[in-house]
Amino acid sequence: MRRTAYFHTLCTLLLYAFLCGMPAAGSAADLIVEEAPSDPTHYSSIQAAIDYAHGILTSNATTTLSYIVIVEPGTYAGGITLRSNIPVQGRETMRTIVNGGGSGTAMTASGVTGVSVRNFTFKNASVGISVAANSTVNILNNVFALGSAGSAVVIQGSPSSSVVNNTFIQNGTAVSRDADSVLISNNLFSNNTADISQTSTLATESNISYNFFQPATAPKGANYRPNTSFPDTLPLLVDDAAPDAHLQAASPCIDSGDPTIADPYQITSGTANLSDIGAYGGPYADTIPALVTGITSSATTSAPYIITLNWNASSSYLVGGYRVHYGNAPGTYTGSDAKNAAGAPLQSPVDVATDTTLSLNDLAPATTIPAEPVVSTPQPLNGSLVVSWTAVSGATSYDVHYGIDSVAENVKSVPVVNSTTITGLTNGQAYKVAVSAIAQTTYYVVVTAYDRSGLTRTPGLAHESGYSAEFIATVGPKNESGLSNEVIGLPEIITGYPNLPNSGCFIATAAYGSAEAWPVRILRSFRDRYLLASAPGKAFVEWYYAVSPGLAAFVNAHPVLRPPIQALLAPVVVLAAFATAPALLQFLILLAAGGAALALFSRKGGSNNPSRGVFK
């Protein structure tokens, strides 16, 4: 009865956990897509996230769940099939790229409804988005730059679809439609072979309005730009080639959109708070400025410690200023020890307004001496040694010291890792190795741009760009620990010589069939601890490595010899195992051996004593 109750309770808990992991009835769930997901609940492809949501929605026709696929910045493969009621949205238009693979269709919608595709950049495809079979798809705030052979958006037999606030740069045909009910509004067309292509049955330019054409080509529709205020001119994008479709300050597309559409940035460039034309206008524009580029930097090598940064100014009219973030760990920018030129503290992030330079003055690097690492016996490789050690708190790098007669002969500096391979060594030659820990204060600095909205900023999410490339500066004294314990390693050919298919080396490995067989490991440990610690032992090892490869190859070629050689090596292995065992284990073995010898001696002595037989 108790087992039944326990089983029932367990099942109830598992069911509860499962239900808690699912979106609640009537709720919306974001399915996150990343190039290299660090979260097991995220997806590595756009299609996988769409298929998951589609499976849930179609398995239960009465469900009130809703899903949206959110795609983080990165480059993703095209050939994507859209599904009904599953919108797809990029996090940051400029850096969330769908690549069509050169000749394919990046996204296909056939017979779907309730779908929006927004905030992506489409590249390298024959067709960017294909909409057919009475689909309802809203294509919003994307950038299409497919090349002169590409058709950006093709809409056939889907009169309820729309193309709003997109930017089309150097495509073959930007938009094709076969119904004048397809809305084409607030789009920016620049240097396409054909901007809008209609079937011959469409005699009107209905539902084409507030678009910018450069050069101006038919059909234009109503209220198109350029107009009398802006004669046929360039759209003044930040960068046509990248592309960066943000607008420069003099662009004719600013505040020229449909007056009924609000500006998501809440920025007034002129007298009206109107929406811009193109991918960064309208209510669905992402509000993330482009990454800051062109960062140059320098750092002083002696006190006073100063890091100076410079970067390129953005030509986007939306950018209102910059912030510098700094700290003492990668991705953690919580620094507070810098000062400005007047000596006032600079807490990260530092708002520099529209300046494009900043000096972090009077930095205060730490002077703490780190602890000594502990080094393990090196792993031998052909002409190399793999050296491993324990991590030391606060260490920013390590120095590996090694040599034949002294560890002071060579030094190899390595970053914050716990092992390295020393190469260029001589097989059969013993090397002494030790490691020291280095603690030198390191600063990690990035720059972000923020927009002019004055709204809450979150880097890479809203009204502030993602972090720029990280500048790393090592500042202050090099604080070095003492040397670790000294170990001895002997490079050797462990991949078989000559021509040993069992990956063995030398006689013992050939006899036991593997370099990792436990008798071979014991013999290697005995060699490192005892033979290499004395001049005669070292000479023996060097002689052995000179003569044994040929014998090992012979044993490997004649497997019948392995059992007798193992028998010959058995006493040596036993002695080596005893010699390398912990002291307590050695004592217990000697104690047991002594007791066994005493018992055996007593038994033999009793059998030869004639008086014992009298009293039996």
Q: What DSSP state is assigned to residue 29?
A: E
The distance from CA 71 to its chain's CA centroid, rounded to whole angstroms, is 16
Which stretches of 342-389 are DSSP H helices?
none
**How far is the CA of 141 from the CAs of 165, 223, 280, 284, 504, in angstroms?**
5, 19, 7, 7, 62
Angle at 185 between CA 190 and CA 80, to 5 degrees: 75
| Cα 344 from Cα 336, distance rounded (Å) | 11
pLDDT of the residue at 422? 95
pLDDT of the residue at 35? 95
pTM score above 0.85: no
- Contact in structure between 478 and 440 (CB atoms under 8 Å): yes
| Cα 565 from Cα 571, distance rounded (Å) | 11
Measuring CA to CA, which residue among 60, 51, 56 is closest to residue 83? 51
pLDDT of the residue at 71? 98
**How far is the CA of 521 from the CAs of 344, 474, 513, in angstroms?**
62, 42, 12
How do residues 462-479 score in pLDDT, each as one tens digit?
Answer: 999 999 999 999 888 889
67 Cβ partners below 8 Å, 6+ apart? 28, 29, 30, 31, 53, 56, 57, 85, 86
* Helix (H) or strand (E) run with residue 522 in it: helix 518-529
| Cα 502 from Cα 520, distance rounded (Å) | 14
pLDDT of the residue at 316? 95
3-state secondary structure of 131: strand
pLDDT of the residue at 1? 38
**How far is the CA of 311 from the CAs of 66, 290, 292, 355, in angstroms?**
43, 13, 7, 9
pLDDT of the residue at 498? 38
pLDDT of the residue at 382? 85
pLDDT of the residue at 549? 67
CB atoms within 10 A of CB 586: 13
- Write out 164-196 in H/E/C secondary structure: ECCEEECEEEEEEECCCCCEEECCEEECCCEEE
Task: Please give the average pLDDT of every successive group of 10 residues along the chain, which has 616 residues.
Answer: 38 31 55 94 96 90 83 97 97 97 94 97 97 97 95 97 97 94 94 89 86 79 58 82 93 88 63 80 93 94 93 95 95 94 95 97 90 92 91 92 95 92 91 94 95 91 95 90 93 52 55 72 77 75 70 73 82 81 74 74 58 38
